[in-house]
Amino acid sequence: MNKLYLFAFCLIFQFSCSAPPLSGEGQRITYEKVVLVSEAKPKNVILLIGDGMGLTHVTAGSIVKKTPLALENFRHIGLVKTYSTKLITDSAAGATAMATGKKTYNGAISMDIHQEKLKTILEYAEDNNWLTGVVTTSTVTHATPACFYGHQPTRSNVNRALAAEFLTKDIEVLMGGGWNYFKDGPDGRDLIEEAVAKGYFVTDTIVEGDQYLPERMICLISPMLPPRLAERGDFLPLATKKSIDILSHNNSSFFLVGESAQIDWGGHENKSDYIVEEMLDFDRSIQIALDFAKKDGNTLVVVTADHETGGYSINQGDLKDGSIETGFTTDYHTASMVPVFAYGPGAESFAGIMDNTEIFYKLKYLMNL
């Protein structure tokens, strides 16, 4: 037994679930899981998700960067099984598993296989007076971020519904793309105006060095999907920094979810340079979270992925010039396990091989929710 475990608890969760309602068959699956957790109770938790980030994506980033990644500072590392009710998950079911602890069908936004709402880790945190934030390089209503605050039976055509759902919550920070889903809509509402009335500082830009710390902030940098790095610049690192500054400034506990969404898009396009560019942008954001956690001393940082995208591999390359020759087996997701890295109080709970649903249970236990 690792000495780091002052007290190790084996919690056995019994689950039963059947095939998704859309597939017709009522097959019943029952499984047990054991969750090993430390007794640490971190004051703050930052969960960073690299969408589509498999081990090769991390490896490619480290070779091209030629100096150690921020991720290489983490000492507690594990592997995560990503399947949904199908072997190959999508981002909605993957994020639902991490956000709610339940396997569901692809396309579900924190709804179970019977299309009942599942309470998310962010909602538990809100109920316990934690400050909360959601940041992404996709639209803020895209599957991964939405699964932490929204509940929809399908991920398609629900941008407006999710924007409206967001405003029913008390989440302090929201940053990403999707201005158009908040402005005047066919429902006759202007959700930007409603957000301002609810006390949000709403903007479409994030500026380095800006000292202004509103209590609540929504930053929507693009009408719909945010552009690639060349156009959006340091948005993710700046948004990560700004979110942490806002959420930590009055000394409450906070829970921040950040997503690097476009690692996945590079995988879908089978473009290695796109993947690496996004991976290194994500790593700069991870460094910001890590710097805060090191200074604070009571913040847990967990970095993981929802699934691997592309069946990405490195077949040739040169460590000296940081070049790589790569291949792909698919333009979709694969069943490959993905890494999880943890730093800070409770980090040892994330060592080993685990199911994606265990991310939820470990966080919930460590956060005392």
Binding site for Zn ion (CB under 5 A): 264
Shorter beta-carbon distance to Zn ion: residue 243 or 270: 270
The Cβ of residue 322 has, within 10 Å, a number of other Cβ atoms equal to 15
Measured CA to CA, the distance from residue 123 to residue 127 in angstroms comes to 6
Shorter beta-carbon distance to Zn ion: residue 264 or 348: 264
| Least gap, CB of 261 to Zn ion (angstroms) | 9
- Position of minimal CB gap to Zn ion: 264
Q: What residues are labeled active site? A: 91
Measured CA to CA, the distance from residue 194 to residue 188 in angstroms comes to 12
Shorter beta-carbon distance to Zn ion: residue 178 or 346: 178
Measured CA to CA, the distance from residue 279 to residue 260 in angstroms comes to 8
Query: What Cα–Cα distance (Å) separates residue 118 from each residue in 12, 23, 125, 349?
Result: 20, 20, 14, 24
The Cβ of residue 92 has, within 10 Å, a number of other Cβ atoms equal to 27
Cα-Cα-Cα-Cα dihedral sign, residues 284, 285, 289, 292? positive
| Least gap, CB of 305 to Zn ion (angstroms) | 11
Radius of gyration over every alpha carbon of the chain, rounded to an integer in angstroms: 19
SS3 content of the chain, % helix, strand, coil (to 5): 35, 25, 40
Shorter beta-carbon distance to Zn ion: residue 310 or 344: 310
| Least gap, CB of 309 to Zn ion (angstroms) | 5
Shorter beta-carbon distance to Zn ion: residue 172 or 264: 264
| Least gap, CB of 351 to Zn ion (angstroms) | 27
| Least gap, CB of 48 to Zn ion (angstroms) | 17
